[in-house]
Structure 1
Amino acid sequence: MEKHGGFHACSVFITTMSVVSALADVSPFLDMSYPFKTGETIYWPTARPFELEVVHSGETEDGIYLEMNNFCAAEHGGTHVDAPAHFSEGRYRVHDISLDTLIGPAIKIDIKDKADTNSDAELTISDLQAWEQTNGRIPDDVILLVDTGWGSRWPNRTLFLGTETNDTSLLHFPGIRPDTAQWLVDNRKIKAIGIDTPSIDYGQSVLFEAHRILFEDNIPGLENVANLDKLPTTGATIYAVPIGIHDGSGAPTRIFATGWRSDVPEPCNMEASGPSPFLDLSYRFKENETIYMSVARPFEFEIGFRGVTDNNFYYEGNNYCASEHGGTHMDAPSHFAQGRHQVHDVRLDTLIGPAIKVDIKAKADEDSLAMVEVADLEAWEEVNGRIPDDVILMVYSGWGARWPDRAAYLGTETNNASLLQFPGIHPDAARWIANNRKIKCVGIDTPSVDNGQSTTYDTHVILFEKNIPALENVANLDKLPTKGATVFALPMKIYGGSGAPARIFATGWNPDLYDPCDVVGSACHPTFDGSLLLSIGTAIMFVKLAR
């Protein structure tokens, strides 16, 4: 089998998402994130809640439909990661945490029974020992998740926090005992820990000792994890992918699982050790660096507290604000197409899958307004074969080499939109893609899928009318192969959003590295004729052999 010289005979992603879905509407992905929704998403009583500000919703003066919003929030609320720096000075902040730390095999420890009768219940050493008696020793390099049943109370703030007030002394919810945290640090080797409550310390904690013990060892925490009731005790893989906030003590995080149902094949095998298989395709969100269009609110980072508290422990907490459309982000179809998908409507299946790359760098080097044309797509197919169904199509213009130089990247030092200069996708090419091929999503390494001089945003409109979302400001596309990689594009789950910051990464980008999503059988090619069941069975067999 050719790795990058020809398209894979059978990628398990294609089999899982195309073939299995043909039999039933079953996704291999279990979304374990709550949406960020004004007035609903639960935050710590003293934290700034999530607020979505509608900037525009309707037709512009030019007769173009446009949705666009800004948002603000604390780092620590909704489904999010606590970076170790949150409670441990000098330890990892969000941008320091590798993707490897937050992606891997998961185990679940269930303490629902005692949490049902005691809202201050805690995970104990004896709970861990009882789990091991049944399931064997907790493996190295797993993500340990604690299921207290608290997810059934979301989004009822009173039930979830244990109080109607903002008085933190009245908080009541389960957590993890400090001596249990210490036992894990001393005796086992977990990568990360998560829970379905607001905090890994229980509600009545004032010293947050479980946080401090785990974070001193650089073990991050996941909080407000959704749908833990659906996760099996063992056998699932967790992907916990935070928005890349530079210097953040935490960040909104999109979490999902595979291997959560025994009747749906596991698309990737993340259990192998060795060099990281992940290529980060995202720029960090950093104040005064992350590039936004002139009409958009830039990323703003406000340090809330950083230092030693009155209770004599170290603490960091921050707030942030931004437009949905800036940095590495996803445009939801509703951005330019009324009634089409908003961020919370876009399924994970749409944003995860095999990727192809169309390279227009040579002509972009000569013309800053170069566009992908139908001829470029036809030339790609002459060399590589027909663009397969259900792929993510990435456009590489070489523009990433200009980041974060705003003037070079946007083509102007001013805020005058009429002076913007960067490559894009020609409307005719967008129409050809939408009408003649079946792609899931499109991405580009520039600020927009329309080139800098577009005023009618025809490419956006054409793609979005077909509910094809767009990824913009995608990083490191020079490292992505023409074909053979798998892309994961994970936006912050903003309810009602026309776009959202996104964390994007790839596997299969380097032939010298293990590709966890390349589980292939030479006899396995998904079809929709009589060989369908054989294809599914072959895929499942290879997945099981790989694991």
Structure 2
Amino acid sequence: MCHACVIDKVKTGMLSRRDLFRGGAAAGVAAVAAGAMSARPALAQSSGKVVDLTHAYDGDFPTFDGNPGILYSSQYDHDPDGYKIWELTIYEHTGTHIDAPLHFAPDGASVAELEPENLMCPLCVVDITGKAADDANAMVEAEDIEAWVSANGAIPEGACVAMHSGWGAKVGEASFRNTPDGALAFPGFAKSATDMLLDMGAACIGVDTLSLDPGNSADFAVHYSWLPAGRYGIENLANLDQLPATGATVFVGAPKHKQGTGGPARVLAVT
């Protein structure tokens, strides 16, 4: 057989196998998608709109303790090295980030151990902007969950229930973190609400503030009950005002470092 014929035959075989793999990959993706949808029938039928719920952050982004949450050290520069690399020092609970069960439970799951199916959730947005405008430490309480259910239907099992307090718009202002006299002040969840959400089977809660508990909390009751129950939380969410109360699906790009108590995450919603 001539050399050219051998090359042609090899090309033909490669193309045939490529088509086969493409078909197999497409079938595999369809099967995974079908499996995910059957596991979570309440996931949104997407219209294609994606909303980024993640704040971009640097050392100036507000943190609970007031210290910079991320530090940059330049290791290589375009001039003279021809490329750029930063060495980063990142504190787990800064920026838009995950609180894993291990954060408040010694035997809780680390962020690397969160179940993948719990990182893709029907999203329920509970709007408390009205009362948060009057009280910087306003809370999502049991009656707010009841009112949401009355207006929108049941909280889907495996849902992410997010508090929209309007605080996301305050990032960059001192009032995002504290009162003029320096006291921590921002909305959060009440234990009455999260106990109800535990019974409803919610997978996680999210807030557009620095903490799952309100700023004036003295006992971190939500952290000490929600996380040890095997659930997780998301803090410092952005752009919740761009989403409906129900009908969106949230995709939580959680970090996966072993023994992690949490960490910065990219969180996206699809409607």
Question: Which bracket does the TM-score occupy, shorter chain normalised?
Answer: 0.7 to 0.9
Q: Distance in 2 between matches of 1:262 and 1:399?
A: 37
Residue of structure 2 in register with 1:305 after alignment: 76
Secondary structure, counterpart of 1:446 in structure 2:
coil
Residue of structure 2 in register with 1:132 after alignment: 15
Secondary structure, counterpart of 2:78 in structure 1:
strand
What is the total number of aligned residue pairs between the two structures?
255
**2:244 equivalent to 1:481:** yes
Secondary structure, counterpart of 2:123 in structure 1:
strand
CA contact (8 A) 1:306 1:316 kept: yes
Closer/same/farther in 2, CA of residues 412 and 494 from structure 1, 3 Å limit = farther
Q: Among 355, 373, 380, which residue is 2:123 paired with?
A: 355
- Greater relative contact order, per chain length (Cα 8 Å cut-off, separation 6+): 2
CA contact (8 A) 1:332 1:342 kept: yes
Which of the pair is proportionally richer in helix? 2
CA contact (8 A) 1:296 1:325 kept: no
Residue of structure 2 in register with 1:280 after alignment: 52
Closer/same/farther in 2, CA of residues 432 and 265 from structure 1, 3 Å limit = closer
Residue of structure 1 in register with 2:3 after alignment: none
Q: Which residue identity is paired with 2:220?
A: Y
CA contact (8 A) 2:95 2:264 kept: yes
CA contact (8 A) 2:165 2:187 kept: yes
Q: Distance in 2 between matches of 1:128 and 1:426?
A: 64
Residue of structure 1 in register with 2:133 after alignment: 365
Residue of structure 2 in register with 1:399 after alignment: 167
CA contact (8 A) 1:286 1:299 kept: yes
Distance apart, 1:285 and its partner CA: 2.7
Residue of structure 1 in register with 2:175 after alignment: 408
Secondary structure, counterpart of 1:376 in structure 2:
helix
**Comparing 383-392 with 489-498, which one deviates more in the overlay?**
383-392
Secondary structure, counterpart of 2:247 in structure 1:
strand
Within a 5 Å distance, the mapping from 1:508-527 to structure 2 comes to 508=271
**2:4 equivalent to 1:234:** no
Q: Which residue identity is paired with 1:491?
A: A
User: Any idea what the Cα deviations from partners look like across 1:261-290, whole Å, max 9, x if unmatched?
Assistant: 67963649xxxxxx96321110113232x2
User: Any idea what the Cα deviations from partners look like across 1:311-338, whole Å, max 9, x if unmatched?
Assistant: xxx3111111121001000000111122
Q: Among 261, 264, 267, which residue is 1:501 paired with?
A: 264
CA contact (8 A) 1:393 1:441 kept: yes
**2:216 equivalent to 1:453:** yes
Distance apart, 1:130 and its partner CA: 5.9
User: Any idea what the Cα deviations from partners look like across 1:207-228, whole Å, max 9, x if unmatched?
Assistant: xxxxxxxxxxxxxxxxxxxxxx
**2:196 equivalent to 1:425:** no
Distance apart, 1:412 and its partner CA: 4.5
Residue of structure 2 in register with 1:117 after alignment: none
Q: Distance in 2 between matches of 1:262 and 1:352?
A: 13
CA RMSD after TM alignment: 3.0
Within a 5 Å distance, the mapping from 1:256-267 to structure 2 comes to 259=29, 265=35, 267=37
Q: Distance in 2 between matches of 1:495 and 1:128?
A: 44
Within a 5 Å distance, the mapping from 1:118-129 to structure 2 comes to none
CA contact (8 A) 1:296 1:326 kept: no
Q: Among 371, 385, 392, which residue is 2:153 paired with?
A: 385
Secondary structure, counterpart of 2:211 in structure 1:
coil
Q: Distance in 1 between matches of 2:92 and 2:18?
A: 44
Q: Distance in 1 between matches of 2:69 and 2:197?
A: 32
Secondary structure, counterpart of 1:357 in structure 2:
strand
Closer/same/farther in 2, CA of residues 326 and 309 from structure 1, 3 Å limit = same
Q: Distance in 2 between matches of 1:411 and 1:128?
A: 66
Closer/same/farther in 2, CA of residues 379 and 264 from structure 1, 3 Å limit = closer
Distance apart, 1:454 and its partner CA: 1.0
Q: Distance in 1 between matches of 2:227 and 2:190?
A: 14
Percent identity reads 31
Please, what TM-score do these two structures have when normalized by structure 2?
0.84
Q: Distance in 1 between matches of 2:209 and 2:97?
A: 11
Distance apart, 1:473 and its partner CA: 0.2
CA contact (8 A) 2:137 2:185 kept: yes
Distance apart, 1:408 and its partner CA: 1.8
CA contact (8 A) 2:207 2:237 kept: yes
Q: Among 222, 226, 231, which residue is 1:468 paired with?
A: 231
Secondary structure, counterpart of 2:158 in structure 1:
coil
Residue of structure 2 in register with 1:251 after alignment: none
Please, what TM-score do these two structures have when normalized by structure 1?
0.43
CA contact (8 A) 2:138 2:186 kept: yes
Closer/same/farther in 2, CA of residues 401 and 342 from structure 1, 3 Å limit = same
Within a 5 Å distance, the mapping from 1:134-283 to structure 2 comes to 134-136=17-19, 234-235=25-26, 259=29, 265=35, 267=37, 277-283=49-55
Q: Which residue identity is paired with 1:494?
A: H
Residue of structure 1 in register with 2:7 after alignment: none
Closer/same/farther in 2, CA of residues 497 and 453 from structure 1, 3 Å limit = same
Q: Distance in 1 between matches of 2:67 and 2:12?
A: 52
Uncovered stretches (5+) of structure 1, i.e. residues with no partner: 1-126, 140-231, 237-257, 269-274, 509-547
Residue of structure 1 in register with 2:143 after alignment: 375
User: Any idea what the Cα deviations from partners look like across 1:139-158, whole Å, max 9, x if unmatched?
Assistant: 9xxxxxxxxxxxxxxxxxxx
Within a 5 Å distance, the mapping from 1:330-345 to structure 2 comes to 330-345=98-113
Distance apart, 1:462 and its partner CA: 1.2
Uncovered stretches (5+) of structure 2, i.e. residues with no partner: 1-9, 39-46
Distance apart, 1:135 and its partner CA: 2.9
Secondary structure, counterpart of 1:286 in structure 2:
coil
